[in-house]
Chains A and B, each alone.
Chain A
Amino acid sequence: MSNYLVKRFLQLIPVLLLVSIFSFLIVHFAPGDPLNMYMRPDMTQEEMDTLRVNLGLDGTIVDQYFAWLGNVFHGNLGNSLITQQPVAGRILEVLPNTVLLMGTSLVLSFVISIPLGLIAGLKKNKLADQLISFFSYVGISIPSFWFGLLLIIVFSLLLHLLPGSGMHEIGRSDLPDLIRHLIMPSLVLSVGNVATFTRYIRSNTISQLEEEYVLTAKSKGATQKHILFGHVLKNCLLPVITLAGMHFASLVTGSFIVESVFGWPGMGTLGMSAINNRDYPMIMGFTMLSCLLLIIGNLVADLLYYVADPRIKSGLKEVRG
């Protein structure tokens, strides 16, 4: 197991390097220059050159990349070209907001989709399945910005039940206020996830219920509840673990669209602003963090597979043995 972990971590290095190279090239080749943010009508060419040097934008793209990489190896993601403040500091400032939003949405997604998926699988082609499938298709098809605006109109504008944007009312920072602001964006983010997860769990439940071990359990007189929660659920969780791993990165990257609609001050908003301003170090910091988390998410998913499915554990032993 430890060898496996070491191997996986070693694999991280070339992947991250490749991602950093491609990301660096893409952001630098996009039209636009971060220096534009500083341009003033009375600026001389000399001043512009000085500014370019001060911001570290004077060398070739290769020089700039290695300068950035050198900083990263020293644990420094560089300074934002716009605020000139450390990138890591700014990311850490907004990260909790995004983790809160995305984490709530992810938990909500699992809490809702697991029972729905199991029910739909168990009641295959029955009314309950039809209803759940209908809402799943709606959830998958619905654009998040549209659904977000719809919720704001209904719950904020018409019913005055929930605030339409931001994280807090002005002058308040208490938990109930935060929860009120969290409800709509997390719901919007959950809808797509719930729909997708439910479909996965449903189809897996159906296939698991057709397995021989279910028949054996039935023949031994096990109750449906015991079969479902004692045996089937565990096997159904395998694809969910994969999905969770894939969504792990979204915990920190946030959602550009939903954060924008709800004015949520998270990583999505930060990332969008960085892209608009061509804030290269911020974009790189954002991209690398997302990539790292995506890889770690997949690794964690693999490890959870290992825990959830004894066959994988024994498979690994067989390979080794």
Chain B
Amino acid sequence: MKRTILCLALALGLLGTTLAGCGDQTTAEATPAPTSDPQESAAPSSSGGEKVDGGTLIMCEPTDISSLNILYETGDEGMTMLKPVYDPLYVVAKDEVRYYLAESREVSEDGLTITVTLRDNLKWHDGEPITTDDVLWYFEMKMNPDNNTSSGTTVNGEPVTVAAVDERTFTVTLPSVSASYDATLGNLKLLPKHVYEDTPVLAGAEINSTSGVGSGPFMVKEWNKGESLVLERFEDYYRGPASLEQVVFRIIPNASAEEIAFQNGELSVLRLTTQDMLEKYSNDPNYSVYTLTEGRINYMGFNSNSPLTSDPKVREAICLALNVDEIIAGAYGSTDLAPAAKTVFCPSNLYYTDVDGYSQDLERAQQLIAEAGVEGETFRLVYNSSRENMENCALMIQQQLRAAGLNVEIQGYETQGFFEVFFYTDAGDWELGLNGYSTNGDNQGDEYMFSLEGFLSKNICSTDEIAALWNAGDATTDPAERADIYRQIQEQIRDVYTMFPISSPNFVVATDSRLKGVDAIDMIPLFEDYLQLYMTN
């Protein structure tokens, strides 16, 4: 009897510990603070304190970078972690051009020459001046095929020509007109010639992991591989030193551990991916919640190599059978996290027209299904199981298509496997696929996704006419003409049922409420301009 009581007591104790651990930890004591040691955390003010100089911004990535050279860091983690270290020349945004290393740039009337003037008194993190010498070497290095990094040096397969006018001014001459090249050029992040010039081939060179000399507001202080990247304020930064003293990126692969670290004050920023998280942090005065435009479209693509979805009538039926609002409500919880998308572009693109999207018409969908003779057929829907909310979307689509008389078998793949299936094999053994892409800035950046001549066109349902429109969009520099071409692309992609747009998700973050300037530039990846960020007391 005693033993039974003892065992029961132990079991209850264990259950109690479990429940304590699973409870809501967002209390006034669970204080986030931008310090590295949780024990040194102090309670943040609710909001509206005075700006203070210094402070540490601590962010988190699930995987580490593999080098300190941004040239070879093309993944999300590289774009985010090395952003404070390397400044672009300029950023072409929807309504403005934001200049960083460049003071100005001018595109010639014929669109073939771009003249860029660098700012005066630019310095690398080691104190050496940034000049057009660095620019010339940079292009030369990128054009070396052994370096595996030729992006931004060619237009339609032909190399651009770069020439220095003086120490601060250089020209880039294009072999043919490419309106989007302006944005591409602006986004290049220069590297210091004096650091790398003695390394004949940069690809795989050890110096990529040791140098990290950049031009941004923060410089590399310490890189503990697999654990953290510590950046410190560059005092000689050409736009004046940042307010924050340090930016730290910690590597925490597990999402639950990341949220606990945020609640414990070990992180300053947490991305909110569910409605529950959004409500939880929105209602807590210790945190501020910001909604940023991600510039992304999540969509369902149709496979042109499948006998079922190669029929436009079937694609139309599927588009009419789906209700995007219900999919979003079921998959994301609300439109706070993911507003519905209607078209191939999103409002943060340079050219966006509010064209009509698809509206659910179940009756018409069923009629088309009957006409196409695919009633009761099984469609295979593939998705990237590593992406948040994709599985829920797949389940919602499965349910809605069942109502229209189609069976859907869903299959998740981890990222690499998904890309292989969705983009690189043309076996036609799937019909529907859930994917997403970033589409900020120049619309031409999406050509590779939706043109027959695009980079990932093996399975795309498109037409020669659409491909021609993409080419035309890049071949003119006239904004009105480009706007009209991209409107036509939106309409034609809709009319041939290339894809079913689902959402244009927001990038929602909770931050320590003392951190300000988070939404100063509403762009992803976080943060374009670290000078805008500061702490309050």
Q: Could you list which residues of chain A lie within 8 angstroms of chain B, going by C-beta atoms?
A: 30-33, 36-44, 47, 50-51, 54, 79-80, 82-85, 93-94, 97, 127, 130-131, 134, 138, 145, 148-150, 152-154, 156-158, 160, 163-171, 259-263, 265-266, 269-270, 272-273, 276-278
Establish whether residues A31 and B421, one from each chain, have CB atoms under 8 Å apart when the complex forms. yes
Q: A39-B455, A150-B21, A265-B226 are in contact. Are A145 and B254 (CB under 8 A)?
A: yes
> Which single member of B30, B146, B230 contacts A170 (CB below 8 Å)?
B230
Q: Which of B113-121, B261-269, B285-293, B491-499 lines the interface with chain A? A: B261-269
Which parts of B392-426 form the interface with A (CB within 8 Å)? 413-417, 419-421, 424
A-B contact count (CB 8 A): 177
Q: Which of B38, B154, B224, B248 contacts A265 (CB 8 A)?
A: B224
| Cα A23 to Cα B303 with chains together (Å) | 32
Give 9 closest A-B pairs by Cβ, nearest first.
A84-B204, A265-B226, A32-B416, A41-B448, A31-B417, A170-B36, A260-B253, A31-B420, A83-B66
Report how far A263 CA is from B75 CA in the complex, Å: 20
With known contacts A168-B224, A276-B414, A38–B256 Cβ distance under 8 A: no
B225 within 8 A of partner (CB): yes
**Contact status of A32 and B36, CB under 8 A, knowing A42-B154, A93-B225, A261-B254:** no
B46 interfacial by beta-carbon distance below 8 Å: no
Please encode chain B, from 300 to 338, with 1 for each CB lying within 8 Å of some chain A CB and 0 for all others.
000000000000000000000000000000000000000
CB of B447 within 8 A of chain A?
yes
CB–CB A157/B30 < 8 A: yes
**A85 adjacent to B204 (CB under 8 Å):** yes
A150 touching B17 by the CB < 8 A rule? yes
Contact of A41 with B253 at beta-carbon distance under 8 Å, contacts A31-B416, A32-B420, A134-B10 already known = no
In whole angstroms, how far apart are the Cα atoms of A138 and B36 in the complex? Answer: 34
Q: How far is the CA of A164 from the CA of B259 in the complex (A)?
A: 11
A-B contacts besides A157-B263, A265-B251, 15 pairs, CB < 8 Å: A37-B74, A42-B154, A43-B150, A97-B226, A152-B260, A154-B20, A154-B21, A166-B250, A166-B252, A167-B224, A170-B230, A259-B253, A263-B254, A265-B64, A265-B225
B260 touches A156 (CB 8 A): yes
Specify the chain A residue showing the minimal Cβ separation from B417: A31
A273 to B14, CA, bound (A): 34
CA distance A127 to B9 in the complex (A): 14
Name the B residues within 8 Å of A154 (CB-CB).
Answer: 17, 20-21
With beta carbons under 8 angstroms apart, the residue of B39, B66, B75, B151 that contacts A42 is B151
**Smallest CB separation, A34 vs chain B (Å):** 8
A271 to B250, CA, bound (A): 19
Judge whether B151 and A40 touch: CB under 8 Å: yes
Bound-state Cα–Cα, A167 to B224, Å: 10
- Bound-complex Cα distance A276 to B386 (A): 10
Name B200-233 residues within 8 Å CB distance of A: 203-204, 206, 209, 222, 224-228, 230
User: Which chain A residues border B261 with CB–CB below 8 Å?
Assistant: 164-165
Q: 1/0 per residue B33-46: CB within 8 Å of A?
A: 00011110100000
Distance between A98 CB and nearest chain B CB, rounded to angstroms: 11
Instruction: Establish whether residues B38 and A276, one from each chain, have CB atoms under 8 Å apart when the complex forms.
Output: no
Partner of A272, one of B228, B253, B415: B253
- Decide yes or no whether B532 CB sits under 8 A from chain A: no
Q: 13 A-B Cβ contacts within 8 A?
A: A32-B417, A39-B455, A47-B145, A85-B204, A130-B3, A130-B7, A145-B254, A150-B21, A160-B41, A164-B38, A265-B225, A269-B253, A276-B63
Q: Are A261 and B257 in contact (CB under 8 A)?
A: yes
Q: Most chain-B CB neighbours within 10 Å: which of A80, A94, A170, A171? A: A170
- Check if B445 is an interface residue, CB within 8 A of chain A: yes
Residues of the B chain whose Cβ atoms lie less than 8 Å from the Cβ of A153: 20-22, 25, 260
Residues of chain B with a CB closer than 8 A to A266's CB: 226
Contact-size category for B: 35 or more
The reply on B18 being an interface residue by CB < 8 A is: yes
Question: Contact between A263 and B150 (Cβ–Cβ < 8 Å)?
Answer: no
Inter-subunit contact A138/B14 (CB<8 Å)? yes
* Alpha-carbon distance between A203 and B85 when the two chains are bound, in angstroms: 60
A23 → chain B closest CB, angstroms: 17
CA distance A79 to B22 in the complex (A): 43
**Chain A nearest CB, measured from B121 CB (Å):** 31
B525 to chain A, nearest CB (A): 17
Q: Give the contacting residue for A260; candidates B204, B250, B254; CB below 8 A.
A: B254
Cα–Cα distance between A35 and B38 once the two chains are bound (Å): 41
Contacts of B230 in A (CB 8 A): 170-171
Contact A31 B413 (CB under 8 A): yes
- Pair A83/B204 contact, Cβ less than 8 Å: yes
The verdict on B273 contacting chain A, using a C-beta distance below 8 Å, is: no
Interface check B240, CB cutoff 8 A: no
Cβ–Cβ contact A167 & B414, under 8 A: no
Does A156 contact B204, Cβ atoms closer than 8 Å? no
Residue numbers in A under 8 Å from B18 (CB-CB): 150
Q: A94-B225, A269-B226 are in contact. Are A149 and B6 (CB under 8 A)?
A: no
In the bound complex, CA of A165 to CA of B263 (Å): 13
List the A side residues contacting B75 at CB < 8 Å.
Answer: 37
B148: CB under 8 A from chain A? yes
Shortest distance in angstroms between B404's beta carbon and chain A's nearest beta carbon?
Answer: 30
Interface residues of B in 40-89 (CB under 8 A from A): 41, 56, 63-64, 66-67, 74-75
In the complex the two chains form, what is the Cα distance from A30 to B416 in whole Å? 9
Q: Which residues of A contact B30 (CB under 8 A)?
A: 157
CB-nearest residue of chain B to A40: B151
Interface residue from A164, A269, A273 paired with B257 (Cβ < 8 Å) = A164
Cβ–Cβ < 8 Å partners of A261 in chain B? 254, 256-257
Does B257 lie within 8 Å of A165, measured CB to CB? yes
Asked if A127 meets B266 with Cβ closer than 8 Å, knowing A149-B260, A157-B260, A261-B254, the reply is no
Tell me the bound Cα distance from A131 to B21 in angstroms. Answer: 23
